[in-house]
Amino acid sequence: MFDVYLYVYDLSCGVTKALSPIILGKQIEGIWHTSVVLHNKEYFYGSHGISFCKPEHTVLGKPGQKVYMGQTSVTEAELSNYLEHLAVTSFRGGHYRLFDHNCNTFSNHLCGYLTNKEIPEYIVSLPADVASTPLGAVLKPYLNTLSVGLNNVPQFGLEATKEIDTNNHCIEEIKRSFVPILFDEPLPSDILPHRVHLLWSGDDHSAKAELAVAVTKIVVESQSSVNLSPEHYSLLELSELETADQCLVACELFRLALWRDPDLLTAMLTDPERHLHRLAVAELPVTNPNEVLDLTVAKAKVLCNYLGLSQDWPLEGNREFVVELRPILNICLLLLGHDEHQLPGHDSRTLMPDHRYTGLALAHNLALNMQPYVGWNWSVDSPAMIWQRNTKSLISHFGNRLPPDQRFLDSTTKLSS
């Protein structure tokens, strides 16, 4: 008799458990990928078909759980013949369907054949639990990559499938399956022209006050086209502002303006003064760590909309129009609590859910934009590879290899002792 194990991986590495109560209102423990292990081989199914490798030798590394499913009398030769049959019938690569015929469907079927037992219900029911919720739009990229990158060459049914392009997850298809996260919520109720003007009390800053009021009127009153001028863009020079409220208003206005009118993004990217380009490293006129984090979130939402709206733009030939990504990555690492990217005297355990969620959204959009412009000495093969490493591995992999940008440090660490 031979032991049979179910290997269970959480592709979100705990992020889903942390964020699902906030976004969904109920707990979802993880985004599960499973495989079946026996005869010293790990068997799994994906869009490419059925494959195997040595246990724990996929890019996912060690499983979060190893569930003992029982014993079987099926020999390795008998199993190989059975999998050859499945690979040309019910588990062909072309039959993979995200929500009802995925890697977990295969694991459940194979465990039933080997041990007459089903895999845990919480794994099987995951797609149905998520698909009907608003959270599904955010988590769908995770689900779309349940088997991406584990092994894109099928090892069963080769003769029958040799005419099929089994490498379905080329980079362009992967990028199409990922939906950018945009911050499109309405402006806070207190951002109105007459209230914004009160944020500037000194005569020396009346020009900035008038600019802020003008931008507020345009954004509040417009529903599509947002007619702002390069002079208005200067509000994003946060180092020239005096208070946290002024900075927050500036970021909120441009966050919504960019979402309403993508043509505005074109104008801002071609602005010779490059106000948007400097936003990630803009110094903040505050010293309190909590205010710094809140304003970093406000900056991140503007940058998230920039990345999301420009995802498919052919900018690689016009690098002067591209916002530098390294400072944006520093913001991601700060908001996600990486050990090497913290504010002095601030414990990352006190980060608020909005900080982490915004950092995750920014990392998601950054992953979609990295490939065309990556100039660092990293191996960034595709957006899928970033998410295969899952969020914590992304933070560890990039955070430990990316010293904090000194400009970013200067913009966030001028805190009072």
Residue 330 predicted with pLDDT over 80: yes
Domain closes at, from 135, 169, 203: 169
Q: Is residue 123 part of a domain?
A: yes
- Number of folded domains that form the chain: 2
Q: Is residue 180 part of a domain?
A: no
Strand partners, 2: 72
Q: How far apart are CA 7 and CA 13, in angstroms?
A: 15
Residue 297 predicted with pLDDT over 60: yes
Length of the chain: 417
What's the pLDDT score for residue 92? 85
Domain closes at, from 99, 134, 169: 169
Give the pLDDT band of residue 319 (cuts 50, 70, 90). low
Q: Is residue 331 part of a domain?
A: yes
| Higher local confidence (pLDDT), 413 or 295 | 295
Please confirm, yes or no, whether 103 is among the known catalytic residues.
yes
What's the pLDDT score for residue 24? 60
pTM: 0.57
Q: What is the mean pLDDT of residues 49-65?
A: 88
- The percent of residues in the chain predicted with pLDDT above 70, rounded, is 68
Q: How far apart are CA 331 and CA 408, in angstroms?
A: 8
Task: Phi first, then psi: give them for residue 46, nearest 5 degrees.
Answer: -150, -165
Whether residues 35 and 150 share a domain: the answer is yes
Q: What is the mean pLDDT of residues 140-160?
A: 53
Helix (H) / strand (E) element for 41: namely strand 41-46
Token couple for 321:
């129009």
Whether residues 197 and 95 share a domain: the answer is no
* Inter-helix orientation angle 289-309/262-269, to 10°: 100
CA atoms within 13 A on the CB side of 256: 20
How high is the mean pLDDT of the chain?
Answer: 76
DSSP state letter for 101: B
- Please tell me the chain's helix, strand, coil percentages from 3-state DSSP, rounded to the nearest 5: 50, 10, 40
Residue 89 predicted with pLDDT over 70: yes
Residue 216 predicted with pLDDT over 70: yes
Domain closes at, from 108, 135, 169: 169
Whether residues 156 and 61 share a domain: the answer is yes
pLDDT tens-place string over residues 201-214:
765 557 888 888 98
Q: Is residue 251 part of a domain?
A: yes
Whether residues 162 and 210 share a domain: the answer is no
Q: Is residue 177 part of a domain?
A: no
Which one is catalytic: 13, 103, 247, 332? 103
Q: Is residue 83 part of a domain?
A: yes
Range in 112-121, 237-246, 361-370 the model is least confident about: 361-370
Whether residues 263 and 407 share a domain: the answer is yes
Q: Is residue 38 part of a domain?
A: yes
Whether residues 369 and 230 share a domain: the answer is yes
pLDDT tens-place string over residues 272-281:
899 999 999 9
Token couple for 130:
């998520």
Range in 33-42, 99-108, 204-213, 392-401 the model is least confident about: 392-401
Residue 20, domain extent: 2-169
Burial of 56 (0-12, 13-18, 19+ CB in 10 A): middle
Whether residues 246 and 97 share a domain: the answer is no
| Higher local confidence (pLDDT), 20 or 219 | 219
Whether residues 158 and 34 share a domain: the answer is yes
The dihedral sign for the CA sequence 53, 58, 62, 63 = negative
Q: How far apart are CA 303 and CA 309, in angstroms?
A: 10
Give the pLDDT band of residue 370 (cuts 50, 70, 90). low
Whether residues 204 and 143 share a domain: the answer is no
| Higher local confidence (pLDDT), 377 or 162 | 162
Residue 139 predicted with pLDDT over 50: yes
Residue 5 predicted with pLDDT over 80: yes
Token couple for 285:
């006129």
Whether residues 102 and 209 share a domain: the answer is no
Contacts of 5 (CB under 8 A, 6+ apart): 36, 37, 38, 66, 67, 68, 69
Q: How far apart are CA 103 and CA 100, in angstroms?
A: 10
CATH at 118: 3.90.1720.30
Range in 146-150, 196-200, 237-241, 387-391 the model is least confident about: 387-391
Residue 334 predicted with pLDDT over 90: no
Which residue matches tokens 């900018």?
A: 315
Token couple for 417:
């002792």
Q: What is the mean pLDDT of residues 228-254?
A: 92
Sheet containing strand 49-53, strands side by side:
49-53, 41-46, 32-38, 2-10, 65-72
Whether residues 164 and 198 share a domain: the answer is no
Which one is catalytic: 13, 33, 277, 355? 33
Q: Is residue 188 part of a domain?
A: no
The dihedral sign for the CA sequence 261, 134, 6, 168 = negative
What's the pLDDT score for residue 366? 80
Whether residues 359 and 220 share a domain: the answer is yes
